[in-house]
Structure formats: structure tokens, C-alpha cells
Amino acid sequence: MVVGDIVVRKSYDKDVSFKVIDIKEVDGKVTFILKGLNIRIIADAESDDLEKVSEDYSGEQDKILNSRVNKAIKTAISTRDIYNRKGATKASNKVSKVSKNEEKEELFFGRPGKILHVDGDKEYMDTCLKVYKQLSLDAVGVALPEEEQPKKIVDLVKEIKPDIVVLTGHDGVLRGTRDYLDLNNYRNSLFYRDAVKALRDYNSSYDELIIFAGACQSCYESMLDAGANFASSPSRVLIHCLDPVFVCEKIAYTRINEIASIKEVIDNTITGIKGVGGLQTRGKYREGYPKSPYVL
């Protein structure tokens, strides 16, 4: 096996697919460093525990996750369509009765919130950008190592001017940890926390700048205390690489005069309540009227 191969672990019943990202040899012992294709996890294994598979291989856990992703995309789009139709009908009833011919729902349009997605892993970021596109979201992706995020995030926000910021990548609780509130016991939670702090020093409003922070097993409480609207991971579980995307979708398409249901936001993720949590947050969707006749 070489770097770039897709493999599964026999000891875990070949349930999750990984990519080999590095090979290390210590004291004559070869260890393969693995990255989950769908779950934000870095793992290691010896060669006799690994089996090479094709790129389209799906283990049992992979199949479950893929099914949840497809369902979440369909649910998000269908729920949004119903929500927008109801909103357009209510809005049309409030429009001046001067010209009844112009009071058609088709004349209403909307703009969802703009997203800046900063990811410590370029491959995960690219996967997220594809789904943002499927969900008709305006998203800009920047691959940036976790340790660089606190230093550069404010300049990126000033340049891109997003409504919603995602700070994610890799993380994990160190082996033998007992104190789950000590940031020294995490791989990258400190960097996410500091990046959130930098953003809140720049813009303290939870309504103006929405922040999602964290990755697998991140120190959830620390992210929220620093000023994040949403974070991972309440139960210190592994999260799916698309969890931040579905949080963003719900906020970006909730109207600016409404508070997004926290339960609906979390229910719309792949990992659910164990992986993602947050605070009451105002939506970023703005309706417009009338729609230009020159725009398709």
C-alpha cells in the first residue's frame, strides 16, 4: 500500500473508508496514517489490519452516512421550497394594493447569507463546496491549517465580507484525557477557540456575524464561551465533514426577521445532537420585491 490508496480496517469490520496520507517507520515498525473519507478523523493502523479497496467502496457505516447525506440534501431543499412559498404568500398580502397585477408570488426573490468556509483540510473543504453548490449557497472556501486560522481569519472576513463563517478541519481528544474542559487535551481546539475570539473582537454581534467552530471531538463548551453560535462536539464524537454545511444552509435560508429553531438546525445535520450544538441564532435570508425582468 502507498500514500493515496483507499483502505478499510479489518478490526472494525471494514465499516469506514480511509485514505492513506502518510507512512511512518519507528523502530522497524511500519504504521499507516489514515484519514476518513467522510468522517473528520485521523487514525493509524498496521499493514496487517488494512485492506485496499476501490474508490467507490462503501462499508456499512459509509452506506448509512451516505444515505443520511442524500436525505439531508433532499429535506433541506424541499423544506426550503415550502418555507419560501409560505413567506412569499404572506409578504404579497402586505404589499400595497395599488397594482394587483404585480402582486404575484413570482415577483418575490431572495438572497441567502454568504458563507466563508475555512478548513484545515483541502479535500474536506472541496467536498463541502460541492454540496454548498447543490444547495444553491454562495460559499467561498479557503484551505488554511488550524494553527494559522486565528492569525488570518479576521483579514479573510474583511476581504470576503461573509454573513456566516465556518472554522473547521481536524481535531481530537488526546489519549488518556480525563479533563474534557482543558484545551491542552485537544489537538486543535485551542486554535479554533482563538480564531473565534479574534472574530468576536472584530464583530461582537451574534446576529451580524454567525460563527460555526470545531471539528471531531472539539471542546464544544470552549467554542461557545469564545463566541461561536454553533460548535462541535457536545459528546466529543466524530462529526461528518458535511455537518457545518447543513448548519449553514439552515441559517442562510432562515429569514432575517426570524430566529432559527436550534432543534431543526441540529436535526438537519448528519451527526445530530451528539456532534453539533449551539445558541439561538437569527437567520440571514433577505426577501426582495419585485424581481427584475432581466434576471432569469
pTM of model > 0.95: no
Residue 197 contacts residue 228 (beta carbons within 8 Å):
no
| pLDDT band, residue 211 (cuts 50/70/90) | very high
- The share of the chain scoring above pLDDT 70, in percent, equals 91
**What is the C-alpha to C-alpha distance for residues 61 and 241, in angstroms, rounded to an integer?**
14
Quick: pLDDT tens for 223-243.
999 999 999 999 999 999 999
Q: Assess contact for 33 and 24: CB atoms under 8 A.
A: yes
User: CA 56 to CA 265: how far, in whole Å?
Assistant: 30
pLDDT score recorded for residue 107? 81
Angle among Cα 219, 225, 226 to the nearest 5 degrees reads 90
Angle, vertex CA 84, rays to CA 231 and CA 135, nearest 5: 50
Mean pLDDT of the chain: 89
Using one digit for the tens of pLDDT, what is the confidence trace for 95-139? 444 444 445 667 888 899 999 999 999 999 999 999 999 999 999
pLDDT per position as a tens digit, 43-80: 888 999 999 998 888 778 778 888 888 888 888 888 87
User: 200: Cβ–Cβ under 8 A, 6 or more apart, which residues?
Assistant: 211, 226, 227
Out of 84-98, 195-209, 248-262, which region has the weakest mean confidence (pLDDT)?
A: 84-98
Q: What is the DSSP letter of 114?
A: P
The whole-number pLDDT of residue 16 equals: 84
Q: How far is CA 114 from CA 188, 189, 214, in A?
A: 26, 25, 19
DSSP 46-104: -GGGEEE--TT---HHHHHHHHHHHHHHHHHHHHHHHHHHHHHHHHHHHS-TT-GGG--
